[in-house]
Amino acid sequence: MNELRPKIHQAFYNPELKFYALDEQIYQIMPLITGVVPADLKSVILDRLVKGILNKNNGHLDTGVLGTYFLIQYLQEIGRDDILFTITNQDSYPGWGYMLKHLVC
């Protein structure tokens, strides 16, 4: 795996735009959680991820169903419970709080 990480980084990282593949949360979280991001770029990619959640998406996710698991795992690993709190407390669409507010039992 150590041989693949630099190759994956080279194939998918855009040094001009400073993100992997597309400017969506899942494309930043997967390289972070798998160790693809070189040490000198971790803070750049993490900052991109956090800004994507808080600023671009107003506290909402764009990870999709499968990517949400990895996002939660990574944010827990690095102690960013503040971001998780923000995500879970969104009561505007498409937040989890919105789904709970509109739950019909």
Residue ranges covered by each domain of the chain? 4-101
**Contact present, 63 and 101 (Cβ < 8 Å):** no
Q: What is the pLDDT of residue 96?
A: 85
Q: What is the pLDDT of residue 60?
A: 95
Prediction pTM value: 0.90
Q: What is the pLDDT of residue 8?
A: 97
**Contact present, 29 and 55 (Cβ < 8 Å):** no
